[in-house]
Each structure stands twice: as C-alpha cells, then as structure tokens.
Amino acid sequence: MRLRSIIGVGPLTADALVATVGSARAFKNGRQLAAWLGLVPRQHSSGGRTVLGSISCRGDAYLRTVLIQGARSSLQRAKAVSVEKSTPEQVWIRSLAARLPFGKVIVAIANKHARQLWAMLAHEVDYDPGACVHHPLQRTQATA
C-alpha cells in the first residue's frame, strides 16, 4: 500500500516489484536496482573517459514495462496539474519534458520511480513528495 502513494505506481506495479525484488536490501542502493531493471544507460568507459550509451534494457521486462507505463502516467499528470498545485517532482518532470525528447523523459521518470521505490522498501518509510526540497544538496544549491 505504501508504494502506491507515488503518482504513476499502481497496484500492479507495486505487487510486481515486491514479488520480483523481494527484499530491497539485496541491492546496495537505488541505482543498482535501476541498473538491474535495465533503466540506466550502458557504460563504455576506458582510460578515465566515461561514455554513456543507450538504455541497457536488461532485467525483468515486465517490471520495466509497468514502470515505463507508470512514468507515462506521471508525465501526463504533471502536464495536467496547474503550476500552483504541482509537487516538486511534477515541477521536475515539467522541466525535464521541456528540454529532453519524450523517450528520455519517460525513462528518466521510470528510473526515478525505481530509486524511490527502492528507498521506500529498503528503509521502510512512506513517500514524501517534498523530500527533494529537504535534501542537503538541494539546500546548498538554493543558497548558492
């Protein structure tokens, strides 16, 4: 029930994630879960030069598909809500959609949802839509 509080994550996505992943603590961090699902770019690095390629599309295809569909729903909802009533995440989605192609926006949102879901499962916390505002890195950027 806790996972369904994220816009774009419904009962199918939440159940599929819990059934597939089991214990989120099996992953060191949210990025490892996202990489396991195939929601991060391939990396071809050598000699200190990092080259990121296309999305790897490895891992559980069904879970990746429902996360992508949930990301589409989040994008649609972010565009439909007025700016005054938007959550910080919806503001982020709007700014992302303004500067990136549709496919990259969808995968970025799905990646973010996977990381949020990992944090909620691993740390057993509820979803906080304003958590990014309280993050130490955001506070230092806002004051600078």
Q: Return d(Cα 41, Cα 24) in angstroms, integer.
A: 21
Give me the number of domains the chain comprises: 1
Return the DSSP state at 48: T
Buried b (16+ CB within 10 A) or exposed e, 10-37: eeebbebbeeebeebeebeebeebbbbb
This prediction has a pTM of 0.83
CA angle 88, 71, 34 (to 5 degrees): 95
Q: Return d(Cα 54, Cα 84) in angstroms, integer.
A: 35
pLDDT tens string for the chain (144 positions)?
888 888 888 999 888 888 988 888 888 998 888 888 888 877 777 787 876 666 766 778 899 999 999 999 999 999 999 989 888 889 989 999 999 999 989 999 999 999 989 988 888 878 877 676 666 666 555 554
Return the closest-CA partner of residue 59 out of 97, 27, 105: 27
Q: Return d(Cα 64, Cα 34) in angstroms, integer.
A: 9
Would the CA dihedral through 46, 48, 53, 55 be positive or negative? positive
> Which residues are bridge partners to 50 per DSSP?
45
Domain that holds residue 90: 3-143
